[in-house]
Each structure stands twice: as C-alpha cells, then as structure tokens.
Structure 1
Amino acid sequence: MSNFKLSLAGALAVVLLPLAAMAQSLPDLGGKSVVVVTENAYPPLQFIDPKTGKQIGWEYDAMDEIAKRLNVKIEYQNTSWDAMIQAVSDGQYQIGMTGITIKDERKEKVDFSDPYMRSQQFMLVRSDESRFTDAKSFGALKDGLIAAQPGTSPFYTAVYEILDGNEQNPRIKLFETFGATVQALKAGDVDLVLTDSVAAQGYVDASEGKLKVVGEPLGSEDFGFIFKKGSDLVAPINQAIAALKADGTFDKLNKKWFLDYKMGQ
C-alpha cells in the first residue's frame, strides 16, 4: 500500500471512529416489546400507501431503524390525534409519533424525546412572480391563491400565518396530493405552494428555471416522540436519535420522503 493510500486510510479511520463509537455505545434493550401509536394521517411522516394499503413514511423508517439499533421489538397501533397524547400519558402506549410539535403545555402530560426534525415551510412560486416577495405581501394580494392539502402543516401555516385564520378562506385551493399542488402552480391555477426546504429546493432544481423560493421560512416547529412521564425509554431513544443524525441516516430519510416521494406524486 502506498504512503498516500496509508494516509487516506488513516484519515478515513479518524473520521469514522466517532460514528463507530457512537453506534457501539447505544444500549441493548434486550428485545424489549414496545407499542408505538400513530395516526397515519400526516404524509409523508406516516400514512397508508393507497397502492398497497401498508403503513409507510419517514417516521416508520426512523422508528424501525431506532428499534433495530436498540434491539427493540415494535408493535404499531393507531388512534386518533385527539386521543393520542392522553392515551400515551395514561400508559396505554409506550411511544406516540405523528409529527408532534414539542410544546411546554404538552410537557405537562408527557415526556418528549429530543427533536428529530425541524419543520419549516418555504414559499414556492413561479420564477416570473413579481407581485409579492414574502408572506405579508402575499396576504395583501387580494386575488392570490394558495394550493394545499387539507389538514397538513402547509395548510395551517397558510391559514394562520399568511391569511386571516379562516380555514374556509376561498383563497386556499385544496388538492389531494402535494404533486397536484405543484402542477397547479406551474399551470398558473394558483400562485403559491408551501413546502419544506428539501422538497422546495428539489422542485426548483428540477424546474428548468420555472420555479423559485421567496421570503423567509414560516411555521418553524420541532417534532419529537412522546412518552409517559418518567419513561425509561426516553434516554435510549435520544441516544439513537443522536446517532441517526450523526451518521446521515436522517438526511437520507429526508431525501427519500421529502424530495423523492413528493416529486414522484
């Protein structure tokens, strides 16, 4: 092996050592059975695949990887959002996941993991758009239309941070898929789509100069898993979250679900 190859191998070993050490330091929970509850109503975090009927999404992939690294057996169950926090608080389920925003008032009932995702919405528009440059100027544009999927974070950001708080506002046009909202934007049927930073940049890059992002990020939220108060699962889950952030696993999931999935819709 040449000196160059030896040096390169040494450099790679130095880079990989912290990640390997982190992986080795994760606790082994001995095949412990854990019930995780979700709603399956928040694509692409978790939802039912209309083609296969299977439960899929970012959170499923992340939780499956966490379970693998901690040696945990996961059983998934479903409940409504309205019932979830109380059910986890009562110990009916060990973990809850459905894009739950970390809030102080919720911490009175449940414990949160460290944040596994920060959700920020960006304003995606046609590249020739000049009537508005941010949320305030769009709100003042009386005939400007937003495309959104009902019940999603972009929908609520549009209602409460850009418009007037009226969920029936006729300036919001509803579509079944995210891909349909972007097609409507390109066709000139609407003027604005809100999406996360990964997908926004992906659509701009693939648009051949037809789309751009304007304004500052909106609707910033930190998401965490929830547990019954005092749960002994919080610490190992947090260790696993840190490991998946450090080794790029979460970055791969972001690309898979917030770019590749959305662009394929």
Structure 2
Amino acid sequence: MNRMKLLLAGLLALVLFPAAALAQALPDLGGKTVVVVTENAYFPLQFVDPASGKPVGWEYDAMEELSKRLNFKVEYQNTSWDAMIQAVSDKQYDMGMTGITIKDDRKEKVDFSDPYMRSEIFMLVRDDESRFAEPKAFAADEKLLVGAQAGTSPFYVAVYNVLDGNEQNPRVKLFETFAASVAALQAGDVDLVLTDSAGGKALVATSGGKLKLVGDPLQAEDFGYIFAKGSDLVAPINAGIAALKADGTFDKITQKWFVDYKPAK
C-alpha cells in the first residue's frame, strides 16, 4: 500500500470511528471514587423524581456518562446551594454540580471545568400575565414581586438587571430553592421568576398552560462543575466534557430532560 493509500485509509478511519478514537484518548481514573455534591433542587438539571423518589436529571445522566468514559465511581452527597462553593473549596467534596454559573468572583474560591451547558436568563410568568413583558415595565410597577434563591445568578439578574441594584430590595422575595420560587409564582405570591432558557422551556412545557416565558434574554451564562483549587480532576473532566459534546451525547441528554421528559402527576 503506497503512502497516499495509507493516508486515505487513516482519514477514513477517523471519519468512520471518531467516537472510538476520542474514547481511546480519554484519561483513565482507575476506578477511583469521586464525591460529587449537589442540591437536587434545579429542575431539570437535578431534582427528586416525584414518582420514584430518586434523584434524577440532566446532570446525573451527564455524570454517569463521564464516569463511564473516564473510569471513576461516583458517590453523591447533598448540601444547600449557599454552602456548596465554600464546602468544595474546603475539600469536603471532590466536585460540585448544580447548574453553577462560571464567574470570576467564584474562581477565587474554586476551579471550574469547561462549560458543559450555555443558558440564557428569561422572565418566567403566569400564563395570564399582561402587566409587563420586559424588565422596565416590571420595575416601574412597585406592586410587582420577583421570587429568587439568594446567591444565584437569577437573584443577581433580578437585583441588577431588573430592579435598582439594591440587594435588600423588598420586592425580591427569597426562597430556599428554585422550585419553591416557581411554586410561589404559580400560587400568585410573586409575579416573576427568572430562569435559564432550558429549564424555563421545560417548566412551561410541563405546566399545563399555566406558565410562559416573556421578553428577550436578560443574560447569557455558562454552567460548569466546581472543584477545590488545584484539583487534578479538572483536566480529565474537561476531556470528558469535550468528548460528550463531540459525539452528541450531551445533545441526547438535553433532548431527554428538556424536551421529552414529562413528570408524573
């Protein structure tokens, strides 16, 4: 076989077997146990399935795929959002996952993986809402309230992109979880909740016509896993993220949880 035929054969192999070639290049973590902390309160990234009582969601499926490709075992732990970044920084856990936006101030405490998902922040309202459809109109009506989880990106967008920049503004009603803020919206206790685009679309699709997204995106953000500073897990996880993006696995998981999933009633 001449050099040209060898070159063509090699190129053909890469075209026909890209996933296999990529998988062979991934790091092998040797079956080590990785302790991953989450909150189970950010539908549909991670939440407790009402039918089975088990934690499920996009991030669980993604982590399962990462563990298979990189050869590690996952041990899940739970903590609240407000304690998570510090706990990972203190090495109480190896990784954190709960739709954590990659931000420079957070990088002072933890290392981030490469982004595994890009999302945009939208306004989520009840389906019969007609008083506002953009931030300026919401801010102008002092009777309107926004629900948020303290310390999250939607909280800061509500404070700085929608209202007056005062983090103590009484129009921002705080809830322990994102799910609680959505429940308050549906009950009429608040008038607006900010949500990422993927989660918002899933909430609208499963609300039975009771919720809708309005207006243009207020902010774009990238989600990443977090690690203690200097963790040797960052590079392998980044390699796994790249592989799962390249072979369409992340797209399939997104289809499952953001489009096809219908929670039990």
TM-score norm. by structure 2 comes to 0.71
Worse-matched range after superposition: 41-50 or 220-229? 41-50
Worse-matched range after superposition: 223-232 or 128-137? 128-137
Residue 74 (structure 1) aligned with residue 56 (structure 2): no
Equivalent position amino acid for 2:52 in 1: T
Residue 107 (structure 1) aligned with residue 107 (structure 2): yes
Change (3 A) 1:105 1:157: closer
Change (3 A) 1:163 1:105: closer
Structure 1 unaligned regions, length at least 5: 1-10
Query: How far apart, CA to CA, are the structure 2 residues paired with 1:46 and 1:190?
Result: 24
Query: How far apart, CA to CA, are the structure 2 residues paired with 1:101 and 1:202?
Result: 19
Contact 2:149 2:181 in 1 (8 A): no
Query: How far apart, CA to CA, are the structure 2 residues paired with 1:196 and 1:125?
Result: 13
Q: How does 1:188-199 map to 2 (within 5 A)?
A: 194-198=194-198
Change (3 A) 1:171 1:238: closer
Change (3 A) 1:96 1:178: same
Residue matched to 2:171: 169
Contact 1:114 1:238 in 2 (8 A): yes
Contact 2:118 2:222 in 1 (8 A): yes
Residue matched to 1:6: none
CA RMSD of aligned residues (A): 4.1
Contact 2:148 2:172 in 1 (8 A): no
Contact 1:94 1:228 in 2 (8 A): yes
Q: How does 1:198-237 map to 2 (within 5 A)?
A: 198=198, 214-237=214-237
Equivalent position amino acid for 1:66 in 2: L
Query: How far apart, CA to CA, are the structure 2 residues paired with 1:87 and 1:206?
Result: 34
Query: How far apart, CA to CA, are the structure 2 residues paired with 1:78 and 1:206?
Result: 26
Worse-matched range after superposition: 132-141 or 108-117? 132-141
Residue matched to 1:84: 84
Query: How far apart, CA to CA, are the structure 2 residues paired with 1:149 and 1:38?
Result: 19
Query: How far apart, CA to CA, are the structure 1 residues paired with 2:183 and 2:264?
Result: 7
SS at 2:51's partner residue?
coil
Structure 2 unaligned regions, length at least 5: 1-10
Contact 2:118 2:221 in 1 (8 A): yes
Residue matched to 1:63: 63
Residue 250 (structure 1) aligned with residue 250 (structure 2): yes
Change (3 A) 1:263 1:245: same
Residue matched to 1:46: 46
Change (3 A) 1:15 1:76: same
Query: How far apart, CA to CA, are the structure 1 residues paired with 2:228 and 2:106?
Result: 11
Query: How far apart, CA to CA, are the structure 1 residues paired with 2:39 and 2:58?
Result: 13
Query: How far apart, CA to CA, are the structure 2 residues paired with 1:89 and 1:175?
Result: 26
Cα displacement (A) at 1:76 = 0.8
Cα displacement (A) at 1:123 = 3.8
Change (3 A) 1:204 1:56: closer
Q: How does 1:130-149 map to 2 (within 5 A)?
A: 132=132, 134-141=134-141
Query: How far apart, CA to CA, are the structure 2 residues paired with 1:168 and 1:104?
Result: 28
Residue matched to 2:6: none
Q: Deviations over 1:39-76 (max 9, x none)?
A: 22322222223333212222111111100111101111
SS at 2:221's partner residue?
strand
